[in-house]
Structure 1
Amino acid sequence: MNALAIFLGITGPWQIVLVIVVVILLFGGKKIPELMKGIGSGIKEFKNAAKDDQPANSKKEEETKE
């Protein structure tokens, strides 16, 4: 049953801790804040682009209705 759970990707607290330890070992403690900052700014840019895209679509729909 445990092998099946691992195969299906069901994660528990020990798997999460193991992943965090591996990330710290690979990138080091100083690189992780820079990595998270880059990911956060990428997500922020994606959200802003999605917000900018929605009004443009609604304006086009309004123009076609008229």
Structure 2
Amino acid sequence: MLRNALEPWHLILIIAVLVLLFGSKKLPDMARGLGRSMRILKAEVKTLKADEPDVTPRPDATPRPEAASRPEAAARY
């Protein structure tokens, strides 16, 4: 159903409606503002990922519950 959601004529129609609604003078300013917002968002996400501690559990840190009940499985870990 959504396989051919945005065909070229859809994009032309969307651009025409945007030009009619906002005018050709406002569109470059809006695009510039959107670009700045995307750059700021990307930078913030990057800093948040850098600030997060590594929360992945190490396999040697704690034994698995099923490994504790089976001695042969506990020997592997």
Same fold (TM over 0.5): yes
Q: Percent identity?
A: 31
Larger radius of gyration: 2
1:17 paired with 2:22, answer no
Instruction: Find runs of 4+ consecutive structure 1 residues off by over 6 angstroms.
Output: none
| Unaligned 5+ runs, structure 1 | none
Question: Given the two structures, how large is their TM-score scaled by the length of structure 1?
Answer: 0.70
* 2:36 alignment counterpart: 41
5+ long unaligned stretches in structure 2 = 56-77
More helix as a share of residues: 1
TM-score (norm 2): 0.61
The number of residues matched between the two structures is 55
